[in-house]
């Protein structure tokens, strides 16, 4: 994605097998100011993101899987309904701050430490799927590779 510009009509962004170099501020690109219509973000098998800060008024769904090198995750998304985190903090201390007051579905298959992973109010949460940090959804799959979020968390 270009480092500047507005993507006014972008509703879905799916990035897979990507490498970010230098001081990448992907969160700035995904912000409401740059992507005001973004509803769904899928980021799989990415390298080079040590700090990912997502601040979006429009996001409804975020699916993050295998973000090699991620040290800190911040999500501030007042309309977010679905969040899936898989193997983003593998073998590292997870540091995450999630503010998503209308979140309904949460999938967390990763290292978890309540001292460093903070969730805001989750009054709307209806579905919680947890699993081991090696990638297996303990409740729904026998495969070592996690199923796509839409198949794993069903209403």
pLDDT score at 35:
94
Q: Name the residue with tokens 């700035």.
A: 28
Taking phi over 0 as left and psi of -120 to 50 as alpha, with beta for the rest, 135 belongs to left
Below-50 pLDDT ranges, the chain? 133-155
Q: Tell me, what DSSP letter sits at residue 28?
A: H
**Is the CB of residue 70 less than 8 Å from the CB of residue 88?**
yes
The pTM of the full predicted model, rounded to 2 decimals, is 0.81
Domain ranges (residues) in the chain: 12-152
CA torsion angle 4 81 89 7 (round to 10): -10
């Amino acid at each position: 994605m270009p480092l500047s510009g507005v993507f006014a009509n972008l509703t879905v962004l799916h990035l897979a097998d990507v490498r970010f170099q230098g001081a990448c501020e992907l969160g700035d690109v995904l912000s409401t100011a740059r992507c005001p219509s973004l509803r769904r973000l899928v980021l799989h098998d990415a390298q080079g993101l040590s700090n990912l800060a997502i601040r979006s008024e429009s996001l409804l769904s975020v699916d993050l899987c295998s973000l090699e090198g991620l040290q800190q995750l911040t999500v501030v998304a007042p309309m977010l309904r679905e969040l899936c985190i898989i193997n983003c903090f593998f073998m590292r201390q997870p540091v995450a701050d999630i503010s998503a007051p209308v979140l309904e579905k949460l999938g967390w298959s990763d290292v978890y430490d309540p001292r460093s992973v903070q969730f805001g109010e989750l009054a709307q949460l209806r579905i919680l799927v947890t699993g081991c940090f090696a990638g297996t959804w303990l409740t729904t799959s026998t495969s070592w590779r996690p199923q796509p979020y839409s198949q794993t968390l069903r209403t």
